[in-house]
Amino acid sequence: MAKKQRVYEGHALIKASRYQEYLPTRPREEQDRVASRVDKLIAENQEYCDQGNYDHLANMFTALALYEIERDRGLSEDEASQAVGKPMWDYVERHTAGTYRKALSKPGMLKLMDRVVPAGFERGSGYGWEYVWHHDESTTKHLQFECTSCIYAQILERYGARKLGTIFCHADDINYGSIPGVTFTRLHTLCRDGQPCDFLFTK
């Protein structure tokens, strides 16, 4: 059976995003403004709007709409990024970080990831992503790859909000940073300093 295609529409993306619990706590006017802005962002970035990018764009477009509201209130780039980042990080900690920690701490998981993660990224990443994989058949102790093209950096740059992309980098830090028996290291990201995101998981 073919997988059901998810619809690119403002309210649908918000419900699929990490802000699905936070946004309903905001004033109704703000909720409507975010949904309207997400619809406009969809229209302006059609080349990215495929099924592989759906979850990424659900989070990014909702975050960008909220960020623009905070900037209009007079917050600086850093202040607005923190204000938008906190509810997302709270959601990640409650809903996804534990799953990553449990799955990646299993014996032999890094070696398995070395085989299956590239295939999963190929299926689960849409237009605009590029990766370089480093396979080492002689060891089961690390997984290493770089993201050399990231849609967060590409799209947010268009709206003068590249710094907002760092909140998603930090979400990775939360998901991967406390895995029992595994050290996650990343010195660079395209959103933080413009250099490829260098992922390294070491057992």
User: End-to-end distance of the chain based on CA atoms, in angstroms?
Assistant: 38
C-beta of residue 84 within 8 angstroms of C-beta of residue 77:
no
Choose the final residue of a domain: 39, 65, 97: 97
96 has a pLDDT exceeding 90: no
2 has a pLDDT exceeding 60: no
Residue-level pLDDT at 152 = 97
Give the mean pLDDT of 53-77: 97
Type of residue found at 181: G
143-193 pLDDT tens trace = 889 999 999 999 999 999 999 999 999 999 998 888 888 889 999 999 999
Give the mean pLDDT of 67-74: 97
Those residues whose C-beta lies under 8 Å from the C-beta of residue 97, and which sit 6 or more positions away, are 174, 175, 178
Q: What is the chain's mean pLDDT, rounded? A: 90
Residue 1 lies in a domain: no
Choose the final residue of a domain: 54, 71, 97: 97
106-115 pLDDT tens trace = 777 777 777 7
Residue 194 lies in a domain: yes
Helices (H), the chain: 10-16, 28-44, 54-72, 77-95, 97-104, 109-124, 151-158, 166-176
For the stretch 69-105, what's the b/e string if a residue is b when 16 or more beta carbons lie within 10 angstroms of its beta carbon?
bbbeeebeeeebbebbbebbbebbeeeebeebbeebe
Domain span at residue 33?
A: 10-97
- The total number of structural domains that make up the chain: 2
More confident call, 171 vs 4: 171
Residues 57 and 128 in one domain: no
Residues 179 and 153 in one domain: yes
Residue-level pLDDT at 100 = 75
> Percent of the chain beyond pLDDT 90?
69
125-149 pLDDT tens trace = 899 999 998 877 666 678 889 999 9
Residue 4 lies in a domain: no
Residue 137 lies in a domain: yes
1 has a pLDDT exceeding 60: no
Quick one: 171 exposed, middle or buried, by C-beta within 10 A (0-12, 13-18, 19+)? buried
Residues 162 and 192 in one domain: yes
Choose the final residue of a domain: 97, 125, 148: 97
Residues 77 and 105 in one domain: no
Residue-level pLDDT at 138 = 65
**Token pair 């590029």 in the structure block, residue:** 130
